[in-house]
Amino acid sequence: MLGMTTALRAAGWDALAWNFRGCGEEPNRLVRLYHSGATEDLSAIVEHAAASYARIALIGFSLGGNLTLKYMGESTPHDSVVAAVAISAPVDLAASARMLDQRWSNRIYLRRFIDSLIAKVEAKALRFPGEIDARGSRALRNFQQFDDRYTSRLHGFRDAADYWARASSRQFLLQITRPTLLLNARNDPFLAPECFPFPEAKQNSRLFLEVPDTGGHLGFLEFAGGLRPWFEGRATEFLANAAVKG
């Protein structure tokens, strides 16, 4: 986020970076956590920014990329939103969860991510002991188990499957009406084949899908002018064109 902010500032944009609930230094004061489909939170951020800016572009990374795409397609975005970019976005959450849960090479990342989520749940349980039960949470081993027990129940979904189905952005891609770039690498270890929506990009002229062979998950490193993420320049280039052409 810091690198993208630096690139945006150099390209003439002001930048506003926001943390998901419970991911910043200040704890979230409500029972709920963040999740991949919480577009109401993004909508509140956009409303806040629109009070000062007539034109807004959105950029989302990974889970935030799915959230950004869902916001752009599930209903008409705020009038000030002119374009969006999503990078390494798991547009099919169920398929990505299976990749993370089952692929051996993802085990280290999976364990670290699950541990961080469990820590958030334990902190929540101390603040809301009557509403969140953290007993046995350290035994959870994958996203299926965590989302079944916590994410779905805290946010009004029936179970993990219901959450993944309703929060995935792929079902909304055909409804996107403003220039939107989706940048997913073929060798991203977290993305299943379902996360490369070629049919939707072919049908929707406002959705630009770019799939480099390499880049991994939020990598896309280039060595021209020093080691740096290639997507920073690609995102600012896309936004410059989109802001002009609409």
Number of neighbouring beta carbons within 10 Å of residue 211: 16
Catalytic pick from 96, 137, 152, 217? 217
Active site residue 48: no
- Alpha-carbon dihedral 221, 224, 228, 234, rounded to 10 degrees: -80
Q: CA 214, CA 220: separation in Å to the nearest integer?
A: 7
**224 Cβ neighbours under 8 A, 6+ residues apart:** none
How far apart CA 158 and CA 160 sit, in angstroms, is: 7
Maximum distance among all Cα pairs of the chain, rounded to whole angstroms = 55
Q: Where are the beta strands (DSSP E) in 110-162?
A: none
E runs forming strands in the chain: 56-61, 81-87, 180-183, 207-210, 221-222, 228-229
The number of residues making up the chain comes to 246
Q: Which of 35, 36, 62, 88 is catalytic?
A: 62
| Residue 73 token pair | 């397609």
Q: CB under 8 Å to 17, separation ≥6 — which residues?
A: 1, 5
Task: For residue 116, indicate whether it is catalytic.
Answer: no
Residue 84 contacts by C-beta under 8 Å, 6 or more apart in sequence?
Answer: 57, 58, 59, 60, 68, 69, 71, 72, 178, 179, 180, 181
Question: Any idea which residues carry the catalytic annotation?
Answer: 62, 188, 217
